[in-house]
Amino acid sequence: MPMEETHPAPPGVRKPPTRGAPGLLLDLVRCLEPADLEKSLLEALLERLPGATALVSLQGRTPRPSRIASDRGVHRFPAGAPVPPLVAVPVMDRGEMLGWVGYADDEALGDRRDAALAALREVAEAAGIPARNARRHAATMELALRDPLTGLFNRRAFEAFLDREVHAARRYRRPLAVLMVDLDRFKEINDRLGHAAGDEALRCCARAVEKTIRRADVAARLGGDEFAILLPWTTARNAVQLGGRLLSALEEEPLELAEPRPARLVVGASLGAADLEQAGGRASRLLELADLAMFEAKRAGGRRVAGGPPPAGPLPPPHLPEDSR
């Protein structure tokens, strides 16, 4: 983000006036996205103290936030990492701390600490209600885009991510793959062990997926027992290898069921991989090919990956516990 000029304006050139508290509040309440609110707060801080390094955290009552936005970009801090020296004022609403605004306590701040505190108090006072609104908006969007049972993204979110990644893959000529996942004998699990066991099998698959994928990957529950994983910078061959790791993760964490009687259940899945090159650059064809590969894996007995070279080593056939009959 460009910083304002710190020198006096040339004759005949007027600098834009600093927004007062009422005008600032009107500007901020329009910012529903947390990132937009951060940007507006940084701009307001720089207007009031040109040349300083503005800092914003909207992570609530967190003494050592993992993420701080500044006019120079977003800074991330691992757990326990020290936060650089700063002068800060909390952002409050209804007695709750929703974050803080601040300036880096460095040479650029110099002897302007009193002016910095005055600016921070003014901006923090205007930021309380907008910060609450942004938090509510983020929570609402999270509910709208997440599957409530597994916590993964839902179909609507997956389709939006797919459109974005297909566009990027075409533009930058980079690989993109999809891995479809369908649980083996899921109806039988529900019929013989009950819907609670079926729900736990879905959650087990979601946990295994989250353990296996990278930060850049997108995992979603499309509906029923069908999952999909969007894999940027990945070919179908690489997706098959990831599918093998996912099957191993499922094998390593069987379900321990207490009802209707104690039982141990290994959740199996059939997986299908395809990439955008195979699909001729079309998103709909990419999903179709991954689906076809997944059905091929299911027809072959399940607990395997189709669409490319199979993972190394044999995989045991899917099974249900005998003592649950």
Note if 225 is an active site residue: yes
The per-residue b/e assignment along 214-231, b for 16 or more CB within 10 angstroms, e otherwise, is eeebbbbbbeebbbbbbb
Question: From CA 44, how far away is CA 37, in angstroms rounded?
Answer: 11
Q: Distance between alpha carbon 280 and the CA centroid of its chain, in Å?
A: 28
Q: How is 37-93 classified by DSSP, letter by letter? A: HHHHHHHHHHHHSTTS-EEEE-SSS-SS-SEEEETTEEEE--TTPPPPPEEEEEEEE
Q: Check the CA dihedral 34-39-43-46 and report its sign.
A: positive
**Of all helices (H) and strands (E), which one includes residue 274?**
strand 269-275
- Which tokens go with 186? 């899921």
Kindly name the residue from 225, 275, 291, 323 that is annotated as catalytic. Answer: 225
Q: Give catalytic residues, as residue numbers.
A: 225
